[in-house]
């Protein structure tokens, strides 16, 4: 065909120019669709986070840090919130606190960091213990949940739930620490608040 039309020869520069135009158009179309669907995804995620914050506020008003009477009971709302508990480590160390003052517990190597309120400030104590030991000791308290492999939180002390495309976090009162929620525990947290 190129021999029939004068000047209709395929040159390397024409070929490369066509490839660049096709690549640019593909990139532009892909970018458009990515942002179009990403904005929908982010809007849905923002709405879900807003609903979870509302559910958290309702959950906090209905429940206290008081222990359950039996394993099958739902959290009780009319009991003494200032119940004392002593958390013990594998050595002679222990921490005694009001359960309502517990902010969170974090695993740090062979230790756990117990973050609690003293006055209106957050203070931390270290115990040589495992998260499993802490989970067993606090099993009777419905407001204290495991949200991550390395964290347990007191939901009564959560100021808000924040979320972005990568992760969900619980922002704690008084310390404003952001506690991560692992993907495997997000649904458990939603069910508890729902």
Count CA atoms closer than 13 A to 45's CA, side-chain side.
Answer: 14
Supply the pLDDT for residue 89: 82
Q: Among residues 117, 147, 152, which one has the least CA distance to residue 134? A: 152
Supply the pLDDT for residue 113: 94
Supply the pLDDT for residue 8: 62
User: Which helix H or strand E contains 144, and what residues bound it?
Assistant: strand 144-148
User: Which helix H or strand E contains 190, and what residues bound it?
Assistant: helix 183-193
Supply the pLDDT for residue 90: 84
Supply the pLDDT for residue 91: 85
Supply the pLDDT for residue 61: 84
User: Which helix H or strand E contains 116, and what residues bound it?
Assistant: strand 111-118
Q: What is the mean pLDDT of each run of 10 residues along the chain (194 residues)?
A: 56 86 93 83 85 88 57 42 78 88 92 90 91 91 90 92 84 88 86 82
Tell me if the pTM is above 0.95.
Answer: no
What 3-state DSSP class applies to 156? helix
Supply the pLDDT for residue 9: 66
């Amino acid at each position: 065909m190129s021999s029939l039309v004068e000047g209709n020869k395929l040159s390397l520069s024409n070929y490369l120019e066509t490839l660049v135009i096709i690549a640019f158009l593909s990139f532009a179309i892909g970018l458009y669709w990515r942002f179009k669907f990403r904005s929908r995804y982010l809007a849905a995620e923002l709405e879900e986070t807003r609903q979870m914050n509302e559910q958290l506020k309702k959950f906090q008003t209905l429940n206290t840090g008081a222990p359950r009477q039996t394993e099958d009971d739902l959290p009780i709302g009319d009991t003494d919130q200032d119940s004392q508990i002593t958390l013990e480590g594998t050595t002679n160390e222990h921490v005694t606190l009001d359960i309502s003052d517990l902010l969170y517990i974090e695993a740090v190597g062979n230790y756990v960091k117990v973050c609690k309120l003293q006055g209106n400030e957050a203070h931390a104590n270290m115990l040589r213990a495992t998260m499993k030991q802490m989970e067993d000791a606090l099993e009777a308290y419905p407001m204290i949940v495991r949200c991550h492999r390395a964290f347990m939180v007191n939901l009564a002390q959560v100021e808000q739930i924040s979320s972005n495309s990568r992760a969900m976090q619980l922002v704690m009162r008084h310390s404003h620490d952001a506690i991560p929620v692992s993907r495997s525990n997000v649904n458990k947290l939603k069910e508890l608040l729902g």
